[in-house]
Every structure is written in C-alpha cells, then in structure tokens.
Amino acid sequence: YYLILFVIFYIFTLIIRKDKILRLKNGEKGLSVKKTVFIRKTVFVASLISALIILFYRKDEFSVNMLDIGQGDCFVVNVGKKHIYISDCGSTSEKEVGKRRLLPFLKYKGWDRVRGIFVSHMDKDHVNGIIELLNYKEITADKIIISTGYKNRELDCAELRNLKAAAKKRDIKIFYFKKGDEIRDGSSGFFCLYPKEGDIITEQN
C-alpha cells in the first residue's frame, strides 16, 4: 500500500516539476488549470481506492503459534483478530512465562481479548502461566475449558484450586469439555476427543 502511494505521488511530483520547467523555458505554456485539477483528482481517487482495498478486502489470518517457554507447553490459535484461543501455558524451566512470554506475545499481536483458554491438565508446565495471565487486566478471557475428568475429586490439586480462584476473581466461567462436545466460533471449531462422560481418571497426564 505504501509503495503504491509512493509511486503515485512520485509520478505526480515529476509531472508538476516538468510543468514548472516548461513555464520557465522561453515563456512556454505549462499544464492548463484543468489538467492540473484532473491530475490532483486522479491522485486522490487512486489513493482512496487503494486504502479501501486494504481495509475491506483483507482476509482473516489463520495461525497456530507455539511459544518458546522452555520445559512446558503453550499454543495460541487465531482466526483473524477476534477469534483467539490459548491452549495451555506453563513451564518448569522458565519463570513467570505468563508475564514474560504469553502476555508480551498477545500485546505484540494487538490482542486484548481471548475467546477461550483450554487447559489440558493441571501439571505446572501446562497451567502456571495461565494462572499468571489471569492476574493481568490487560487481557480478558470469555471462558476457560478444562477436562470433564476434573469433576472427579481424585484430580483435585492446588493448581486446580488456584485456577478456579483466579477465574472467579475475574468473573470468568469454567466449562467442562468431554468427548463429542464442540465449540464453534465463526469459521473455526474445536472438537473434544477425550475423555468420555463418566470416565474415571486418576492421573493428571
């Protein structure tokens, strides 16, 4: 877009410069007033059309981003700037990954709202960055999605309680995901493959 504008204005400048040279040489006539006005209108219309093309014909970007957080896991999936999902964020080798890795990435992208945060399980290398992120009001989240297995008391742990407390503080609802469930969001979708309702799970992983 900037290149198009540069070329248009550069050509326009050359035309005006040539016109001035003609006016100075032996009293020759330069461009008429009508032609000058026509050139100015053409440049304006061309610039306006270029701007409208950029604004209205840009396709939504789809990307899957895996953040480098050391020993851990963190994915950010997006379709455009409005449909953004996080899958896990935690590390046992890096400190404050929610603050130092995930939050700066979201800010760099210009994303301040996340549609959903998936947490696969409550091991620290999957969840401690999510808990950190929920403490920062710069980013809002619509919901948190965890496995239906966490209805089982045997999977209760400090990380799960901390996650629930942080979500409650931000007024974010927690949903339980089971096999057959799906989330549809525009052109994107997420389907749950495991576990089934009623499966008894005793280990985090």
pLDDT tens per residue, range 36-78: 677 777 777 877 787 777 777 666 788 999 999 999 999 999 9
Instruction: Tell me the whole-structure pTM to 2 decimals.
Output: 0.73
* Predicted local confidence at residue 84, as pLDDT: 96
- Our separate counts of H helices and E strands in the chain read 6, 10
Kind of pairing between the strands at 143-147 and 173-177: parallel
Quick one: pLDDT at residue 146? 97
pLDDT score, position 89: 97
DSSP letters spanning 132-156: HHTT-TTSEESEEEEEGGGGSGGG-
Tokens of 16: 């005006």
172, 138 Cβ separation under 8 angstroms = no
Higher per-residue confidence, 198 vs 1 = 198
Higher pLDDT, 36 or 200: 200
- pLDDT at residue 26 in the model: 62
CA-to-CA distance for 178 and 126, rounded, in angstroms? 19
Question: Which residues have a Cβ under 8 Å from the Cβ of 117 and sit 6 or more positions away?
Answer: 85, 86, 87, 130, 133, 141, 143, 144, 145
- pLDDT tens-digit series, residues 97-127: 999 999 999 999 999 999 999 999 999 999 9
Q: How confident is the model at residue 58, as a pLDDT? A: 62
pLDDT of residue 32: 63
pLDDT of residue 91: 96
What residue has token string 């007024």?
A: 171
pLDDT band at 31, cuts 50/70/90?
Answer: low
Average pLDDT for residues 31-40, to the nearest whole number?
68
Backbone φ, ψ for residue 202 (5° rounding): -115, -10
pLDDT score of 174 = 97
Q: Per residue in 134-184, pLDDT tens?
A: 999 999 999 999 999 999 889 999 999 999 999 999 999 999 999 999 999
Tokens 């840009």 correspond to what residue? 58
pLDDT band at 15, cuts 50/70/90? confident
Say what the pLDDT of residue 151 is: 92
Q: Tell me the average pLDDT across 3-16.
A: 78
φ, ψ at 106 (rounded to 5°)? -65, -40
